[in-house]
Structure 1
Amino acid sequence: MKQFHTGLVVGKFSPLHLGHELLIRRALHDCEQVVIIGYSQPELPGCGSYLREQWLRARFPQAIVLVLHNDRHDLPDNDADATVHRRLMGWACQHLLGRPVDAVFTSEDYGDGFATELTRYFAEHGRRRAPVRHVLVDQARSAIPVSGTVIRRDPHAHRAYLSGEVYASFVQTVCFLGGESSGKSTMAEAMARELGTVWAAEYGRELWVAQDGELAYDDLLRIARVQQQREDDLRQQATRYLFCDTSALTTLFYSREMFDRAAPELEHRAGRRYDHVLLCAPDFDFVQDGTRREDGFRLRQHDWYVAELRRREIGYTLLTGSLRQRIDTVLAQLTGSR
């Protein structure tokens, strides 16, 4: 038997860092059931409520996660009187969860007053008579010496205090598109090397080679799925940027080109957005490596990308010139976006 039946952890989780995770794991250790409530008014930069809910559910699937979204709830301002916030939590437990809690877990000296107010709220509404206990965890921040305020200033400098799932949300995705033999792979690899990060290689090319140049209709959806899963996995390993060699938009082009149709899921996956889209111009000699079509096909691909990106209202930068010129263009764009 654990010490408590139901424990409560409340926070902004902006972002969810390892100090929060230490607190939640202590609650999971001490309680049969843990309720995590997150909210912030206003939202803090880079930490929207739906993103915070995603983090909490990914990291703590065994807990009950309740994130109060600003577009659904009338939330008090972050600097409102403490009693307002405490009674809001009592209301959330009663009306949204349908149960009181036995303990609250915090790393703050306000925890005793929080527990007292919850006890009062539950008694007023006939939910329980036993006092809510307060469990204080690492108040001195000796185990995890960091705060959300510090991390928000520069998540990349403090990535050691973020789980991979959380840090991935601060990684910018940079996608290289273009026709065959237009330098996409070269650019993705060169930029990753230039900025000390990782890049997502083109799975479609790998499968094409593995199957001796034979692709079936169903292979195209498989390519899109694997490519995007590769991107999702590599974002957790990246540093500030993830460079992507093509996207599902490329796969969509080949599906239509080869089979005159595309699976609905592939159409949907082709809508994935990237922070930066770079279109490689076909402005140097076509290189035939045995897997490509011909230069005329490359030019037709390029024209399709231009039209499709415009149709989808996706902004992009056209990369021209030598490899060094292209690298400098991307560096200037990325530096200017920080």
Structure 2
Amino acid sequence: MNIHSTNKRQVGLIFGKFYPLHCGHIYLIEKAVSQVDELHVFLGCEQARDLSLFENSHMPRQPQVKDRLYWLQETFKNRRNIHIHVLDEENIAYYPNGWQDWSDRVNAILQKHQVTPTVVFTSESQDAKNHQLYFNCEVKLVDADRQFINISATKIRSDPYQNWQFIAKAAKPFFIKRIAIIGDKQFDKLPKQLANIYNTQYVSNGYINYIQHQHLHNNKLVLNESDYIRIALLHAQRLDEAMPLANQIIFTSLDFQTLHDFYRKAFEKSSKILQKLEDNYYFDQVIDASCFKQSDSSLTVFEKAVDMINKQLS
């Protein structure tokens, strides 16, 4: 699709890594789009640099380009005058060098879509002169002193959970810590208690729910292979539904590795579906009976579990 511009139209540009997308970025984009007819947002990516940012962060896992692109697309969905582009910055000299090569890449994308920019919006005052030079248009600074929103992606990467309120709504599920608490009946209440304490979501055990709904009157219950698959898919669905509502962490009493282990013992083989769920639904921590002594009281178990969770968020 070609996006046409004329000299009468105001066309803005914004550049960023959005690593991760946060309220400051959103403010920049929203203020910019209120001043132009169309806005082009460039998501810069470079493998080695992005990996280095992650390795020097306290993020639970590394955001990929597809994750960052989704955060932007989801945040600005149905906004027809906001256009998002992925900008490949591989083999370009690192900032503050490489301006010519970098701007050539940007201009190639602009030419492809027949776009002529009239203004660049940025929060980085040190970039203003080069933006004006290489794109031959006006540059407008937005909240350069961070007075309106005092946050940066660097601060979030260094401590995402202390800066939770600044992470974009679309990006928060990526950072949610998944904690499974499994074991005998003495653990039934613990994940619910922890969910209450941390003001977040508890996802009930799909295994128990499935048995209650599908085999209510079966006193001699033996699960077959399809039962395990249905249990797993039900649990995955409930996790997906709860993630956008969770606050930093989510609790459940079943993880997919444990369920898959039950399946292997029952049928002496693996399941491709269960393996895929196990791979795609990573749990940051699984707390089971082996984490505690048999002599531990309910209070001791409770206090040890809280300490484990606090370490996850530190």
Pair in the same fold by TM > 0.5? yes
The 3 A distance-change label for structure 1 pair 149 and 258 is: closer
SS of the residue 2:160 aligns to: coil
Hey, what's the Cα distance between the residues in 2 that align with 1:195 and 1:336? 13
Q: Contact (CA 8 Å) 1:105, 1:137: kept in 2 or not?
A: yes
Q: Displacement of 1:256 after TM fit?
A: 4.9
Matched to 2:162, the amino acid is: A
From 196, 205, 212, the counterpart of 2:215:
212
From 302, 318, 322, the counterpart of 2:297:
322
From 226, 241, 257, the counterpart of 2:234:
226
Hey, what's the Cα distance between the residues in 1 that align with 2:174 and 2:238? 15
Matched to 1:172, the amino acid is: K
The 3 A distance-change label for structure 1 pair 265 and 16 is: same
Residue 38 in 1 paired to residue 44 in 2?
yes
Structure 2: gaps of 5 or more residues: 78-82
The 3 A distance-change label for structure 1 pair 85 and 188 is: farther
Residue 90 in 1 paired to residue 103 in 2?
yes
Write the deviation string for residues 19-44 of structure 1: whole angstroms up to 9, x where unpaired. Answer: 10122344556354623223473415
SS of the residue 2:173 aligns to: helix
Once the two structures are overlaid, the 10-residue window that deviates more, 239-248 or 218-227, is: 218-227
Question: TM-score w.r.t. structure 2 length?
Answer: 0.71
From 53, 60, 68, the counterpart of 2:73:
60
Structure 1: gaps of 5 or more residues: 120-130, 282-316
Residue 248 in 1 paired to residue 248 in 2?
no
Q: Contact (CA 8 Å) 1:17, 1:163: kept in 2 or not?
A: yes
The 3 A distance-change label for structure 1 pair 67 and 237 is: farther
Q: Displacement of 1:261 after TM fit?
A: 6.0
Hey, what's the Cα distance between the residues in 1 that align with 2:201 and 2:174? 15
Q: Displacement of 1:134 after TM fit?
A: 2.6
Matched to 1:275, the amino acid is: D
The 3 A distance-change label for structure 1 pair 58 and 224 is: farther
Q: Contact (CA 8 Å) 2:201, 2:242: kept in 1 or not?
A: yes
Q: Contact (CA 8 Å) 1:101, 1:132: kept in 2 or not?
A: no
Matched to 1:155, the amino acid is: P
- Hey, what does 2:284 align to over in structure 1? 275
The 3 A distance-change label for structure 1 pair 89 and 186 is: same
- Hey, what does 1:136 align to over in structure 2? 141
Hey, what's the Cα distance between the residues in 1 that align with 2:156 and 2:63? 19
The 3 A distance-change label for structure 1 pair 67 and 93 is: closer
From 173, 181, 190, the counterpart of 1:176:
181
What do you get for the CA RMSD once the two structures are aligned?
3.6
Hey, what's the Cα distance between the residues in 2 that align with 1:106 and 1:118? 14
Hey, what's the Cα distance between the residues in 2 that align with 1:10 and 1:27? 12
Write the deviation string for residues 7-28 of structure 1: whole angstroms up to 9, x where unpaired. Answer: 4321232331111012234455
Q: Contact (CA 8 Å) 1:104, 1:133: kept in 2 or not?
A: yes
Residue 10 in 1 paired to residue 15 in 2?
yes
Q: Displacement of 1:54 after TM fit?
A: 0.5
- Hey, what does 1:163 align to over in structure 2? 168
Hey, what's the Cα distance between the residues in 2 that align with 1:261 and 1:220? 13
- Hey, what does 1:192 align to over in structure 2? 195
SS of the residue 1:34 aligns to: strand
The 3 A distance-change label for structure 1 pair 219 and 55 is: farther
Higher RCO (C-alpha 8 Å, min separation 6): 2
Matched to 2:99, the amino acid is: R
The 3 A distance-change label for structure 1 pair 35 and 235 is: same
Q: Contact (CA 8 Å) 2:181, 2:187: kept in 1 or not?
A: yes
SS of the residue 2:189 aligns to: helix
Hey, what's the Cα distance between the residues in 1 that align with 2:257 and 2:62? 29
Total equivalences in the alignment: 283
Identity over aligned pairs, percent: 20
- Hey, what does 1:312 align to over in structure 2? none
